[in-house]
Structure formats: structure tokens, C-alpha cells
Amino acid sequence: MTTATSTTARKPMLPLSLLLLLLPALTFAQTRQELSLNSVAFFNTIPNPPSFVIPGQGVPLTITVALCSGSSSQPMPRFIVTNSTNNAIEDDPTSTTGGPDVFEIGLDDGLGTWTGEFPSGGVLAVEENGAQMTFEIGVSNDGPIHEHITSLPLLGDTTSNQALIFSHPFESFDRPKPSYPNYTLPVANQTLPSPTGNTPNFTLILSPTSNNLAARHQTGCFLSSQPKEGNITSETIWLKDQQGWRDQWLMGGLTPATNYTAYVLQDTNKVSGPIFFATKSASFSCPLVHSLPYCPGISYPIPLPAPPSAAPSYTTLNLPQNITDPLLSYLTNFTTTLTTFACGRDWYSPLVGCDDCQIAYRTWLCSITFTRCSEPSPSNPNAFTTGTVEPTATGLSALGPSKKHPDQKVFSALVPQDTARPEARRSPTLPPPSYAYDMLLPCIETCTAMDRACPAFLGIKCPTAQFNAAASYGVGYVDSADGDQGGGVTGNAADQWGNVWCNPG
């Protein structure tokens, strides 16, 4: 009794300083969650207290936030970070208090990034702002965990229900340079090397463009939660061109004549895209050819009968020998002739060598051998020349908007082909077509690049725009008709919106 009384009596007597120490400790019954380094935390609701501890680090940290639901037309939560050490939850940074070392992480398409020093840790506070959204937070000492990758996926091409799609390049490729006295060029039937590093985990997301994913949050967790279309027929890594290693998907089960939007996610949280493309109409008959080590760039439909044994496409495994044999023979013979030049010892150009010439010839040969089937661009359905072009034709050059015709759309280099004149087919290596189709002409740059890269004694001559180049090549798209590099009407053979103007090989 006496003890109790004395305890009660002593309570108000606690020194003020001790009281001040006890108060925060009581509030701390509600403890903030600590975010762990180099990992992603997912929240389906804003926690209580609505703030997180950021661990102290001797190196700069990158804090990323990604919204996983809702849309940017709704209120969105706000994320406020401070890198000053303040322990009291009452002192959590807010969007209104501001102060030194208090920063708001702005959201752009549902993604926010902030990098700074946290020598003794910090706090990330979330303001609900009337928003009910799920979100992720990443804390990293090794670059952002959530990211919008600037390089885009690449469309190979489509059929009525398939699409061949490549990821952005994930590892560069340095072609080994042969040198004198052992100047050896690769054999025609070469096998591809392997990437040296680890292949990231890639996920392809295909959605009909009518779902309008491009206007929603551009984050991995949001995009992967949306309904997808198509199924993966095959997935391989592929060295399509000098830009480096990419992942390659052959997708099936798509709907004919439909606009699609594609994204590639790298390691779940890094987003590349969108690109847009359209599947061909239901009557489109040409099957896809791809994954040819001797023609690594070829990834489009060609005018052959359907692949044997109901295979989904032609690859090196089922392409008829009477097509590959002449192709490899041309390439072998060309290489033999080329190496009669003292490659690597005498120089025909300060910029290029025999190896560059061989690659340029291969690109040209493959684009000529594998005639490309296509259809008018979706954004430009009337844009192709009707009627078979005569060998002497000079028309078909790219036309862009002009002062006189500001609405002029750019026509693709499409030439209708029928079964009536099999001898007039572009590629004697392919059998006469058994159905009518539209041929997409190779870009003239496949020829001019070879002309530039090869020694003069080979006598390579590309047709010129003044004569009949446009009857057999797409002219004026990439380079201007008089050869100004990149000065053409579109500056490129294709774009991210699904337009393809000529075949770059």
C-alpha cells in the first residue's frame, strides 16, 4: 500500500528529459517497416504508419516506385523521401512541409525514380491522396530496379495469326576482326556464337491495341497484370544484326487483321516498349522464315507453300535443301573471289575490310533470295502500286509529304506478284509461287552498302534512281534518291508503329 502510494506519488516527479525520451518510444509501438536493399516490396494497401525506413549506405541509393493498378486519370499516391535522419514518425516528410533534404518522387507513367545519398538512412513516406492503388518500392545500390528502357523491341514480321518479335538488344556483339597473315573469313554455313554474359529473364506482353495499354501505367507490375493474347510457339536468343543479342519469340494464336501493342519486360520490372504492329488479313498465305544462321537477319514471310509436317514456320531445320544449297554456294564462291584480294595486307578503303564486304554481300544476297511477302501498312491501307511493274519501270520511288501535297502518305515498296509469269519472279532460288501475293522490295541500301563495303574489282553495280532502280528496289526511303545517307522520305525501313516501307534484309 505504502509502496503503491509512493509509486503513484513519484510518477509526476519524473524528470522532464526522461519523459521526452519515453514519448517517442511509446509512439514507436507503431514501427515503420524497413525496406531491404536490392529487393522489391509490394503493397496492396498503404501501411500504417504510412512510411518506411531506408537503410543507411555509404553509396548512393536509387529508390524507385511503380504503380501496379489504377490509371493516371485517377488520383495517385504521392511519395516523399528524406535523407536526413529523423526518427519520429511525427516528423515524417510530407508534400507540404518541404525542407532541405526532403524530395518528392515525381511519377511519370506510373513510375518514379530518385537517386541520392543516405549516409545515415532516411524515410520514405506515402500520402494516400485519395488513391486506392497497389504499388511496389525498390531500393537499390546498383541502379534503378524499376526502369523504362529506352531501346525498343523489334518486330520481325507477322502472318495472319503469328508474330515474330525480338527484345531490345541485351548484350552487344563485337564481330572478331580477322587480321593478316591469318586473314580467315567465316564459312558460308556458319554457326552463331553464344552470348558471353547471362541472359536476363524476358517476358513478352502482347495486347490488342484496342486495350490501350500505351495510355496506362508503363510499369512491369501493371502491364503483366493485364489480359494478354497469343501463346509462345518458340523462344530463343538470336543475333539478328550488329546491334547485338536479343530474345526472339514466335507467337501464335493471334487474330487476323488486328492491331497489337507489344512490350518486353526484362527481369520483371524493366519495361521496353511499346511497339505497335498489325497481323495480316486472314487470306495472307506466306509462311514465316527465321532462325537461319547463314542469313541471321531474315525474319519475315516468304512465298513458299506451307511448311512440312504442319510446322509453324520455316527455320534452318526444315527449309528445303534446294533453297539453302544455291544460297550457300553463292556465298562461298563470293568469299573465294573476295579473298583473291590481299585482305588485311593491302587496303582498298581506310574504313572497311573484306570482312565488312562479306557481311554486306550476305545481307544483300539473303534479301534477294528470300523474297518478302507483305500487305499495305495498316495506317495506309490504299498505299501500294497496283499492276505488275515492268522491268523498265522508273516509278515506285518513295514519295513523302510536300508543300503541294502535305497529306501525301508514304507508299510501301509493294509490287503485286501473280502466278502467271513464274519466270519473272525475283528470286530464282525460290520455286514459282503457287499463289498471288504482294512483294515488298528490298531497300536499295542493301545494295549500296555492299557497293561501299566491297573492293572495286568485284564490279558491284547498283541500279541508279535515274534508271530502273525503283523497279527492283525500294528507293528513296532510307537514303534520298540521290544517295544522301539517312536523307530519305522516312529515314528508316520500318518504324515502331508497324509501318514497313522496304525490306532491309
Ligand X SMILES: *[C@@H]1O[C@H](CO)[C@@H](O)[C@H](O)[C@H]1NC(C)=O
CB of 320 to ligand X, least distance (A): 5
* Interaction of residue 504 with ligand X, rule CB under 6 A: no
Contact by Cβ (8 Å): 397, 465: yes
- Contact status: 191 vs ligand X (CB under 6 A): yes
- Lay out the site mask for ligand X across 285-324 (x = CB under 6 A, - = otherwise): -----------------------------------x-x-x
Amino acid identity of 113? T
The residues facing 171 across adjacent strands are: 245
Binding segment (CB under 6 A) for ligand X, from list 16-24, 193-201, 358-366, 464-472:
193-201
Q: Which three cell numbers stand for residue 362?
A: 550476305
Among 198, 382, 386, 392, binds ligand X (CB under 6 A): 198
| 189 sits near ligand X (criterion: CB under 6 A) | yes
Dihedral angle computed from the Cα positions of residues 44, 111, 115 and 60, in that order, rounded to the nearest 10 degrees: 50
The yes or no reply on residue 328 touching ligand X (CB under 6 A) is: yes
Q: How far apart are CA 60 and CA 240, in angstroms?
A: 37
**Interaction mask 271-290, ligand X, x per CB under 6 A:** -------x------------
Torsion-angle region of 279 (φ positive above 0: left; ψ -120 to 50: alpha; else: beta)? beta
Q: Going by DSSP bridges, is the β-strand pair 270-278/147-149 parallel, antiparallel, or unpaired?
A: parallel
Q: Which of 62, 83, 207, 468 binds ligand X (CB under 6 A)?
A: 83
Span from 29-37, 86-94, 196-204, 448-456 in contact with ligand X (CB under 6 A): 196-204
Size of the site for ligand X (CB under 6 A): 34
How many whole angstroms separate alpha carbon 241 and alpha carbon 173?
Answer: 9
Residue 46 or 361: the one with the smaller Cβ distance to ligand X is: 361
Q: CB atoms < 10 A from the CB of 321, how many?
A: 7
Letters for 100-139 (x = contact with ligand X by CB under 6 A, - = none) are -x--------------xx-x--------------------
Residue number with CB closer to ligand X (320 or 483): 320
Listing DSSP states for 444-491 in one string gives: THHHHHHHHHS-GGG------TTTTHHHHSB-SSSS-TT--TT-SSSS
| Residues 132, 325: Cα–Cα separation, whole Å | 62
Residue 340 per-residue DSSP state: T
Binding site for ligand X (CB under 6 A): 83-84, 101, 116-117, 119, 178, 182, 184, 189, 191, 198, 200-201, 231, 252-253, 257-259, 267, 278, 320, 322, 324-326, 328-330, 333, 378-379, 431
